[in-house]
Structure 1
Amino acid sequence: MVCAGSIGCLPRICVDYRQRHQGAITRSPGRRHFDIFPQYDSLFAFLDRRPELAGHRPLLFERMAAHLVFCLRRPERVRRADRRAYFRQAAAHYRRHRPPGFAPPPGSGRDLALLARGNYPLFAARETVRRAGGLGRRGVRAARRRLSAGGNRLYYALQRRLPLQPDLAVYAAYWYRAPACNPQAVEAAARRLAPHVRSVWIVRPEAVAALPPGTDHVLPGTRRYWKVLARGTYFVNNVNFPDHLVKRRGQVHVMTHHGTPLKTMGLDQRPYPAARMDFDALLRRASRWDYSVTSNPHSAEVWHRAFPCGYRDLPAGYPRNDRYATAGPEQIAGIRERLGIPEGRTVLLYAPTARDYREGYLPDLDLEAFSSRLGDQYVVLVRTHYFYGRHEGLRELHERGLVRDVSRHPSTEDLCLAADALITDYSSLMFDYACLDRPLVVHAPDWDSYRDARGTYFDLLSGRPGETPGPVTRTVEELVAVFRDGTWRDDRSRALRAAFRERFCPWDDGHAADRVVRAVFLGETPALPPVPRRTAPLLRASAMLPDPHRALGTPLRQPTDGG
């Protein structure tokens, strides 16, 4: 693969590796591991026959040397009785294939120097010292973990023998990151409609400083954490709680989810190569749900197939989208002011999603070219997926003033309210943003790879009403043209967006969180709004976007108290 001029990928599995229950060869010590030597001889013979590939030799040699030392250090591969013989062959390979002028990479110089000299006694002595020190440190850490875990398990078991606290609700979001998303909206509604229910958030230590004043919270692993898991009655999360949570009789779990599914979810992921999960464990977690909050009929259908468990479907709309129906012009203007957006500018929010088929954030859009060609009348906000850390290239563009990196902004809802249009690829944010009835542009340069690796429920790029929310682009030139020629907000764009809203936003009327609270905490059966399309647009972010419905004489509908 290093030497290949190009690499082709097929949308199907070609090799299915099945491991016997006794374990793989990598954990079966024996002389079979000596086969590594003729394999590497074959690799370098391949290079010898192709002089044009000589530039790859140093990298491949360094990989071979590291691989040989790696295997030698592991007793599950090379037995103690075979180590000296293995080392001799490894040293011979090192000397035979070493390219002229090779310099070991930092951190491996001593090991490779001993290999080059064939000095097994010194290598073995260094390994003995290294393993003794490592085992000592690991042993101390393991003992501490066992002691702590044992105490926590005992404390948790004792607390589960005590009565539930009927007024205690435990909230979490995104694996204990911080209060956010649907759980945060549900908690705000519960404070208003069910004030007798006490709220406790589970958050990581690094999120504590940013908590709103007066937020009751616990840190994972503390005594109070185990106590609220044992004694709480209501559990609200947009992802699954950890496996160590034992659901008691009388506890009520509410899964709010955190997006409308375009990509396959749950058991539907099984045929696709990007699926890397324990599906049995996933079903055990889903079996704890009592309620599954659904944002639209499409989501309800998907959840029932992807998570075939005994929960109750709670069609309510998405609580986090309530703000889109209730935010007024003053609030939107305040958000834009806090973001430092000059008056009269058109704001474009670019929010790509994560990729299952590759590691780390790699921009699929040339942001420098895009921003430069648009001109100063536009402000481009960039929000990367929360799975990724900071990206140096994006930071540089931010410092140069070409784009604004808002990846760490605490509220996605604020960013959507501030934006005059959304540019995304396959992010579920498109379904939320559609509630605003503002232009949506799909930039999908790698649609085929994304679809084949993860699977999707419909063809986002088909151009069919109800599937495609607006113009589709594949290159930066096409994306710039969409904004320059007005395609992003023309009649066809509005028609596609209307059909998309009809399918995916039928219940987002500003009262979704209230419906969840009334159903879960108060035992009521809240009524849903009618499913047919709402023809009136919601509030625009800036005066630069003309309102076509005004020209047609359609009144702007304001949300009502009754939903």
Structure 2
Amino acid sequence: MLRRRIGSPARRTNCFGISAPKRSPDPPASTSAWTRMGERIARRARPGPVSSGPGHAPPVSPPVALRATLVRLGFLAGRLLPIRPRVVLATGHGARITGNLAWIRDGVRSTRPDVDVVELAFWPGSGWRQLARAAIHALRSGFHLATARLFVVDDYFFPMYVIRPRRGTTFVQVWHACGAFKKFGYSVLDAGFGADEEYARSIAMHTNYDLCLVSADRFAPFYAEAFGAPREWFTARLGIPRTDLFFDDERQALVAAEVRRRYAIPDRRRVILYAPTFRGERITVARDPTDLDLGALRDALGDDHVVLFRSHPFVGARPAADPALAGFVIDVSDHPEMNDLMLVSDVLVTDYSSAVYEFALLGRPMAFFAPDHAAYDAERGFYLDYPADLPGPMFISSAELAAYLRAAVFDLERVRRFAAESFDVADGSATRRFLDKVVAPAIGRTGPDEKGRARPP
């Protein structure tokens, strides 16, 4: 049963023919099929009457109220200007855009040089300098929310939830993870991990989306619960842009060679990618798990293996590397793209990372090291049946994991079955479909004129 937001804006049927927060008077929604979705986006993207002001009640927390006020000030300033043929790509939990946003950025820039592309990336932190950056980010976000024709996010994005968008802007959530693994959003409201109900109500989390991508339709109910949204918001028909990498042999070869060069990964060694998720109730106190005995792993596996350790991006300060593990463990945590690291890896070891969905597309083996899975399930919870639904075995001791990796007897049919169940569309053309079905109708299909100037959509 979906959670209901108290004080949420009135709803209407949006340009995709689905229920969404009400903005301003619109014509009746089309009931046309998917093939006409682009036409509906184009109709929705035409300039229209603007709303009278923000649609949500002020947050109760003073810091949140200040942040919301700054966003709205930027939004009010931008509302004085016309909406531009601009694509904004925004993330609220990273110093740079990566993954789906990066693939969309590169696709727009290569096919539509007449379109302005803006990147909004922000990493939360502490200190006066960071507070100043946060204030500037809030103002910029509000301004671009008011002036962009297409606004795409890949995670929770606070500024989007504290304004009432102008008609003429399309909002898309591409999410940073495939599948549906760990619970989040409204699914963990007031749990050990997650937002409290008062905060969620005060800002109406995950509102204002016109469309949300999922990797398979069977995951849509989980995202609908997590977003407190109707099932109709979600589609798997476009595919997931960043998975295009796994269908481009030439690009894979270039990326893999660069990763090997950057981290001096020895040839002729079996590469184990160890990528645990973070622990901690908040991202500001995120930490790595410490249960895996990497020394025991080295002793069991010998010199013909190497471990690439990739800490979760939320983890800030990490302990210094153990000199005794030099040559066996290589820290690759500073690499922004997890999928790039997968290309050079023979086996993935994780605990609760959604990276397993994309690694399954490579058809390579996985193992799960999760001695704390009962406690993690009680605190966070899963959308899948853990460990029954996993594409590989789960271990609770370092010795058992080492023995499994040493034996190298893997059930790859289990991996292939997991991949087939997790992606409705995975063919290397997801970015192109996103450009054709979302960007083109939202921005306008025409390119620059003979003098290189952008034509109005």
Q: Is the aligned partner of 1:161 residue 2:80?
A: yes
Contact in 1 for aligned 2:150/2:171 (Cα 8 Å): yes
Give the corresponding residue for 2:148. 232
Partners of 1:514 and 1:397 lie apart in 2 by: 46
Give the corresponding residue for 2:261. 337
Residues 194, 437 of structure 1: CA spacing in aligned structure 2 closer, same or farther, 3 A cutoff?
Answer: same
Higher RCO (C-alpha under 8 Å, 6+ residues apart): 2
Residues 336, 505 of structure 1: CA spacing in aligned structure 2 closer, same or farther, 3 A cutoff?
Answer: farther
Tell me by how many angstroms 1:342 deviates: 1.8
Task: Look up the equivalent residue of 1:274 and give its one-letter code.
Answer: F
In the alignment, which of 356, 379, 382 is matched to residue 430 of structure 1?
356
Task: Look up the equivalent residue of 1:181 and give its one-letter code.
Answer: G
Residues 455, 205 of structure 1: CA spacing in aligned structure 2 closer, same or farther, 3 A cutoff?
Answer: closer
Give the corresponding residue for 1:241. 157
Residues 283, 319 of structure 1: CA spacing in aligned structure 2 closer, same or farther, 3 A cutoff?
Answer: farther
Partners of 1:441 and 1:392 lie apart in 2 by: 25
Partners of 1:504 and 1:153 lie apart in 2 by: 39
- Structure 1's unaligned 5+ residue stretches are 1-141, 207-217, 525-563
Residues 363, 149 of structure 1: CA spacing in aligned structure 2 closer, same or farther, 3 A cutoff?
Answer: closer
In the alignment, which of 388, 392, 400 is matched to residue 478 of structure 1?
400
Contact in 2 for aligned 1:368/1:402 (Cα 8 Å): no
Q: Is the aligned partner of 1:381 residue 2:338?
A: no
Pairing 1:141-160 to 2, within 5 Å after superposition: 154=73, 156-160=75-79
Tell me by how many angstroms 1:302 deviates: 1.3
Give the corresponding residue for 1:103. none
In the alignment, which of 382, 385, 404 is matched to residue 456 of structure 1?
382
Partners of 1:264 and 1:275 lie apart in 2 by: 9
Give the corresponding residue for 2:416. 498
Contact in 2 for aligned 1:173/1:181 (Cα 8 Å): no
Q: Is the aligned partner of 1:286 residue 2:209?
A: no
Residues 372, 223 of structure 1: CA spacing in aligned structure 2 closer, same or farther, 3 A cutoff?
Answer: same
- Structure 2's unaligned 5+ residue stretches are 1-61, 125-133, 443-457
State the Cα deviation string for residues 107-138 of structure 1 (Å, max 9, x = none).
Answer: xxxxxxxxxxxxxxxxxxxxxxxxxxxxxxxx
Contact in 1 for aligned 2:184/2:194 (Cα 8 Å): no
Contact in 2 for aligned 1:178/1:204 (Cα 8 Å): yes
Contact in 1 for aligned 2:72/2:163 (Cα 8 Å): no
Tell me by how many angstroms 1:304 deviates: 2.2
Task: Look up the equivalent residue of 1:481 and give its one-letter code.
Answer: A
Indicate the SS of the match to 1:375: helix
Contact in 1 for aligned 2:153/2:173 (Cα 8 Å): yes
Give the corresponding residue for 1:361. 288
Residues 229, 372 of structure 1: CA spacing in aligned structure 2 closer, same or farther, 3 A cutoff?
Answer: same
Tell me by how many angstroms 1:504 deviates: 0.8
Partners of 1:461 and 1:339 lie apart in 2 by: 32
Tell me by how many angstroms 1:219 deviates: 9.2
In the alignment, which of 401, 412, 420 is matched to residue 327 of structure 2?
401
In the alignment, which of 403, 427, 445 is matched to residue 509 of structure 1?
427
Residues 223, 453 of structure 1: CA spacing in aligned structure 2 closer, same or farther, 3 A cutoff?
Answer: closer
Indicate the SS of the match to 2:91: coil
Indicate the SS of the match to 1:369: helix
Partners of 2:379 and 2:136 lie apart in 1 by: 34
TM-score in terms of structure 1 length: 0.58
Give the corresponding residue for 1:536. none
Pairing 1:116-195 to 2, within 5 Å after superposition: 154=73, 156-165=75-84, 167-195=85-113
Residues 174, 152 of structure 1: CA spacing in aligned structure 2 closer, same or farther, 3 A cutoff?
Answer: closer
State the identity %. 30
Tell me by how many angstroms 1:327 deviates: 3.4
State the Cα deviation string for residues 263-294 of structure 1 (Å, max 9, x = none).
Answer: 22332224744334346448823221011011
Tell me by how many angstroms 1:413 deviates: 1.6
State the Cα deviation string for residues 423-442 of structure 1 (Å, max 9, x = none).
Answer: 11110011111111111111
Q: Is the aligned partner of 1:313 residue 2:234?
A: yes
Tell me by how many angstroms 1:162 deviates: 2.2
What is the CA RMSD across the aligned residues, in angstroms? 3.1
Contact in 1 for aligned 2:152/2:173 (Cα 8 Å): yes
Residues 191, 483 of structure 1: CA spacing in aligned structure 2 closer, same or farther, 3 A cutoff?
Answer: same
Tell me by how many angstroms 1:150 deviates: 7.8
Task: Look up the equivalent residue of 2:346 and give its one-letter code.
Answer: D
Task: Look up the equivalent residue of 1:292 and give its one-letter code.
Answer: C
Partners of 2:305 and 2:440 lie apart in 1 by: 47
Partners of 1:178 and 1:240 lie apart in 2 by: 15
Residues 266, 348 of structure 1: CA spacing in aligned structure 2 closer, same or farther, 3 A cutoff?
Answer: same
Partners of 1:269 and 1:152 lie apart in 2 by: 26
Tell me by how many angstroms 1:469 deviates: 0.5
Contact in 1 for aligned 2:70/2:138 (Cα 8 Å): no
State the Cα deviation string for residues 344-395 of structure 1 (Å, max 9, x = none).
Answer: 11111000012345953231211222123211111100011111113215x2
Residues 153, 451 of structure 1: CA spacing in aligned structure 2 closer, same or farther, 3 A cutoff?
Answer: closer
State the Cα deviation string for residues 382-433 of structure 1 (Å, max 9, x = none).
Answer: 011111113215x235873331111111221211111111111110011111
Contact in 1 for aligned 2:269/2:304 (Cα 8 Å): yes
Give the corresponding residue for 2:451. none
Q: Is the aligned partner of 1:523 residue 2:444?
A: no
Task: Look up the equivalent residue of 1:265 and give its one-letter code.
Answer: F
Task: Look up the equivalent residue of 2:264 and give its one-letter code.
Answer: G
Aligned length: 360
Give the corresponding residue for 2:368. 442
TM-score in terms of structure 2 length: 0.71
Give the corresponding residue for 1:304. 224
State the Cα deviation string for residues 290-316 of structure 1 (Å, max 9, x = none).
Answer: 110111123222112332435632322
